[in-house]
Structure 1
């Protein structure tokens, strides 16, 4: 099971990243994100990185990036993570990338999803997902939550992250 980590801050730089393959030149980017406290992370943006709302990101945007905490990373500073999903921070909206079990509770036990007829459930390519989102890795876009443990919400949109073959 993938354990997702996140890092948010302001994009301070975006450059091309050489992945080592001649035919992929220009297809990979390195995005430097800095928190207000000065901490920095470099995200490697690949052709499979999911961008919430397909938003173009530029230097100065406030963003959150999600990565696989179990994936190997080079021992360099600043840390360099392969981005799984990226999103601009939008006031009034929250984003969580996590595994949700059969009760639609996140793996860290902090969020429970209550799906409504208005909840959009789609694949990463934007197509409708017709099965249950239970027991899957999900990108969840939501607003207000209850103050219970776990917090409960009715998501605006769920993006199902199907396994890559």
Structure 2
């Protein structure tokens, strides 16, 4: 007779903590986003270490149609326009859809990018190919002379942004397929 026992490990132990130190390279990555109202922000203790105390936050979002999601905010999470987020703000959190996730409710993901929602701008995070078309083929970027091209540390990016993971801040789009836009700002995830 076989004993069908499975060993279980704590998801956030120190050896698995590399999940929050995600490295972005020139490879295609699948991003997903969740929009909602921030209902709670609290400290998150990823490791029991005094040096990391207060450096990680747990941000709960509520969406009427899709329920609740928790985002783990790390020091590496990029906040678009470096805006402060408070309870009651409408935001969109982007995460790596291919990364492993713990099976709990509400779902909990390490946030890569957080953007405060606005009626005057759109934000998307995606892999853009050599022709600056998003991985789903729905958005094409046309770089204008006024488009700011920067890194996450606000330093200029002086190369062609194709074949990279990008944060794109843009306004109106055409009604073509794919929709086209001249972004206000492109932030390159290196």
TM-score by length of 1: 0.96
1:5-154 matches, cutoff 5 A? 5-22=32-49, 23-37=51-65, 39-154=67-182
Name the one with the larger strand percent: 1
CA radius of gyration, larger in: 2
Cα displacement string for residues 108-132 of structure 1 (whole angstroms, at most 9, x for unaligned residues): 0000000000000000000000111
1:91 offset after TM fit, Å? 1.0
For residues 132 and 21 of structure 1, what CA distance do their matches in structure 2 show?
Answer: 42
For residues 100 and 132 of structure 2, what CA distance do their matches in structure 1 show?
Answer: 28
For residues 41 and 137 of structure 1, what CA distance do their matches in structure 2 show?
Answer: 23
1:21 offset after TM fit, Å? 4.0
The 3-state SS of whatever aligns with 2:81 is helix
TM-score by length of 2: 0.84
1:2 offset after TM fit, Å? 1.1
Instruction: Provide the aligned C-alpha RMSD in A.
Output: 0.8
Cα displacement string for residues 59-90 of structure 1 (whole angstroms, at most 9, x for unaligned residues): 00000000000111111000000000001001
For residues 83 and 12 of structure 1, what CA distance do their matches in structure 2 show?
Answer: 16
**Would you say how many aligned residue pairs link Structure 1 and Structure 2?**
162
Cα displacement string for residues 34-81 of structure 1 (whole angstroms, at most 9, x for unaligned residues): 012360000000000000010010000000000000111111000000
- For structure 2, the residue ranges without an aligned partner over 5 or more in a row are 1-27
